[in-house]
Structure 1
């Protein structure tokens, strides 16, 4: 089985530490696998577009399974391998955690000083459905990937989970374990684009019980011209 790790990332001073720790983490967990940073050059940075592009590049490389990992998120090895094996066969996306811990500034400083992740101060984010996705390219595209109209930060993961659950008939498969999100300066989560993202996510939620409406919403985005990339 050929595995690829792709990581949406745009260099920023506050994010360099989390990125470097994440890359080192994946090199330990999957030592024979290259970690590829992905940036589509959209303005603002577009995580959904980067995830889609990462899956495309992995598919072109011949990968059977793709780990799509945020550049600040670490997961435990046992659930990771369970997710890889499961994603290869199930036709569903797998999430290698059941508990998502946000370390914050204090917890990240503790980890930086040598404390084990499990012992660092953290806040559990209930309902988290992002951070690390494990999928085959075919599964990712079977429910449309992620909607690139979610520009900037916010809501693309929630809309993706709705599309997955509605169009594939089941939520993403979770594996018992923990994910850990390292601290960095937060993205701006306000303003017209953030409000547009919230409104688009609301449309996904409204279509959640109607596969035909959800498919139409997914197809609709393909008819909307993308803003120019700078």
Structure 2
């Protein structure tokens, strides 16, 4: 089953802590999930264009199931097999309900160890929370088919930097392919790094304006298709 999977990882080298995390996560896939095809999408734009990086990774992929995964996230391999089994009934799957931020101390310890599952050490972590407690993250790890990814033309590269591209992907997928299924009882782990966040993106207001157009077209297939096709103009 896992030999049908291409893992798409967006990446931009920083010659610092992010590269260290990325190398560890890449080794995690080699050690723990050797069956999957790991495809790295490297975007050198400034600020980093995550959408472009995911799309570049997708162009390298040869498998029929896509796992869109951040380069600082890892998880129990079983969440992938559970998610893949659900793709017959659901257009896409968010294979976790809990996002745990690993502490700096535990991250440093993990980075000093050979990646494996289960953990070689006791890991300290804290659940990611939001002001709106009803909100749950929709990125980190996402599972869908190559067909559905292509049906919405991947990620919208007009989102410059980071922020809102995942929300637009969600609305396009839900509208044109079908709603997602979340595995509430599963967990992903996010390695510690210096926080930047969308507020550090000088283009976040432009991203918000573009995303508002996606939000206004939820459930409107013709309108959503037209918005997506604008990317080719």
* 1:103 counterpart residue number: 102
Quote the offset at 1:83 in angstroms: 1.5
Q: What's the TM-score once normalised by structure 1's chain length?
A: 0.82
Aligned CA distance change for structure 1 residues 200 and 106 (closer, same or farther; 3 Å)? farther
Q: Which moved more, 1:21-30 or 1:106-115?
A: 106-115
Give the CA RMSD over aligned residues: 2.5
> How far apart in 2 are the matches of 1:54 and 1:85?
23
Q: How many residues align?
A: 218
- CA distance 1:146–1:57, shift in 2 (3 Å): same
Deviation at 1:107, TM superposition (A): 5.3
Choose from 5, 8, 11 the match for 1:6. 8
**1:117 Cα shift?**
8.3
1:9-40 superposed Cα distances (whole Å, 9 cap, x missing partner): 11210212321221122223312334332213
**Alpha carbons 2:39, 2:58 under 8 Å: kept:** no
**Map of 1:219 onto structure 2:** 229
- Conserved 8 A contact 1:91-1:139: no
Contact 2:90–2:181 (8 Å) recurs in 1: no
Question: Hey, what does 1:71 align to over in structure 2?
Answer: 71
Unaligned runs of 5+ in 2: 114-118, 130-134
Larger mean CA deviation between 190-199 and 130-139 belongs to: 190-199
Deviation of residue 182 (structure 1)? 1.2
The structure 2 residue matched to 1:174, chosen from 162, 182, 205, is: 182
Q: Report which of the two has the higher share of helix.
A: 1
* CA deviation string 1:207-228 (max 9, x = no partner): 22422222221112221xxxxx
1:43 offset after TM fit, Å? 3.0
CA distance in 1, matches of 2:93, 2:162: 22
Q: 1:106·1:121 contact (CA, 8 Å) conserved in 2?
A: no
1:201 maps to: 211
Aligned equivalent of 1:31, options 31, 34, 50: 34
Conserved in 2, the CA contact under 8 Å of 1:4 and 1:65?
A: yes
Q: For 2:166 and 2:126, how far apart are their aligned partners in 1?
A: 21
Q: Is the 2:148–2:177 Cα contact (8 Å) retained in structure 1?
A: no
> Shift in Å at residue 118 of structure 1?
8.1
Secondary structure of 2:142 counterpart: strand
Aligned partners of 1:79 and 1:96 also within 8 Å: yes
Shift of 1:113: 7.4
Unaligned runs of 5+ in 1: 224-230
2:130 is aligned with 1:120:
no
The residue that corresponds to 1:144 in the other structure is: 153
The two structures have a TM-score, normalised by structure 2, of: 0.81
2:26 corresponds to 1:18 = no
How far apart are the structure 1 equivalents of 2:201 and 2:50?
18
CA separation of 1:85/1:169 partners in 2, compared to 1, >3 Å: closer, same or farther? closer
